[in-house]
């Protein structure tokens, strides 16, 4: 019999959630390479804007190469991710 584990979700702001196990990186928007990644992803289905019109402060990179824009600070998102991964 297969055991079923619960899918852990991380709130990335404004009621939007991401599967915690799919997150590869959380990066700040202040570097040029990150801005280039976003520009290259614009117009494709790989860019998800979860900012609700607010200023983008962090970019979440997933295993499937999706980029998720968040208006929360990277440190806040990292803390939420650590908290979610520690919960049994």
pLDDT, tens digit, 9 for 90 and up, residues 4-13:
567 899 999 9
Question: Considering the chain, what is the average pLDDT of its residues?
Answer: 91
pTM: 0.88
**Per-residue model confidence as pLDDT tens digits over 47-74:** 999 999 999 999 999 999 999 999 999 9
How much is the pLDDT for 70?
98
Distances from the Cα of 81 to the Cαs of 62, 68, 72, in angstroms? 13, 14, 13
CA distance 16 to 2: 30
């Amino acid at each position: 019999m297969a055991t079923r584990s619960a899918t852990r979700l991380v709130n990335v702001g404004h009621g939007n959630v991401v599967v915690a196990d799919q997150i590869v990186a959380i990066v700040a928007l202040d570097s040029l390479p990150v801005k280039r990644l976003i520009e290259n992803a614009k117009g494709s289905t790989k860019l998800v804007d979860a900012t609700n019109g607010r200023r983008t402060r962090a970019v979440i990179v997933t295993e499937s190469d999706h980029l998720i824009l968040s208006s929360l600070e990277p440190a806040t998102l990292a803390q939420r991710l650590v908290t979610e991964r520690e919960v049994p």
